[in-house]
Amino acid sequence: MKKNIFVALDFNSLDKAVDTVSMIKDEIAGVKIGTELYAICGNNGLTKFKELGLEIFLDLKLHDIPNQVKKTVAAVKSFDKVKYLTVHTSGNYEMLKAAQESAGSIELLGVTVLTSQSNLEGVGVKNSVENQIKLLVNLAIKSNISGVIASAQDISLIRSLSKELKIFCPGIRSGEDKQDQKRVMSYADFSKKADDKCFAVIGRPIIEGDPVQNIKKIIQSIK
């Protein structure tokens, strides 16, 4: 089976992140570097992971005026190390279109809805979760970006709108402890829904404790 796990390297030290990745790199499709690690290690970190032969997903979740997002995407492209970069679909069409104009070989992924309905209401969104996801995914489709970040619970809905979009799913949990994730799914259930354009983004269930045993258990859960 094609490898479909991106490990979220939510560490405050590059050494810890590199040690963890070195232990599990044969089992994963790539690494996700978020704002915490990127703030600490910058491009130096990107180079290290590139040297390990892994695809790099830089999770900066850009959301700004279109011109600034466009220039930031161009700056990331100039490093020539990043394969996937996140932007917020709620930045709206003009921002997404501007980002895509300078993306070149970088594949942009648009963050959709991962929160509960009550959280949507808390920021003044009156749409149901389903309608909000449809609206944001349609913005991603219209602006021609490569994929979206969404709960695995939304894979079927997103596939009813597009067969082409890549779908990256955080919130993968097997046990009872959801931590701060609200819309979760086990890796086994994700795998039943996933096609070859779907990827799991998994952080704490892999990096906390013993990463080798953790990923082994996750992969064996589908056998």
The residues assigned a catalytic role are 61
201 binds ligand C5P (CB under 6 A): yes
Q: Which of 14, 96, 149, 152 binds ligand C5P (CB under 6 A)?
A: 149
| Shortest Å distance, C-beta 161 to ligand C5P | 18
Q: Which runs of E-coded beta strand occur in the chain?
A: 5-8, 30-33, 55-62, 84-88, 107-111, 147-149, 166-169, 198-202
Asked if residues 150 and 169 have their Cβ atoms less than 8 Å apart, the reply is: yes
For ligand C5P, give the closer residue by CB, 106 or 111. 111
φ/ψ of residue 150, rounded to 5: -155, 160
The residue range among 41-49, 91-99, 197-205, 215-223 that interacts with ligand C5P, by the rule CB under 6 A, is: 197-205
The yes or no reply on residue 170 touching ligand C5P (CB under 6 A) is: yes
Q: Fill in the per-residue mask, 47 to 76: x = in contact with ligand C5P (CB under 6 A), - = not in contact.
A: ------------x-----------------
Query: Residue from 5, 114, 155, 185 that binds ligand C5P (CB under 6 A)?
Result: 114
Residue whose beta carbon is closest to ligand C5P? 203
Binding site residues, ligand C5P, CB under 6 A:
8, 10, 34, 59, 111, 114, 149, 170, 179, 181, 201-205
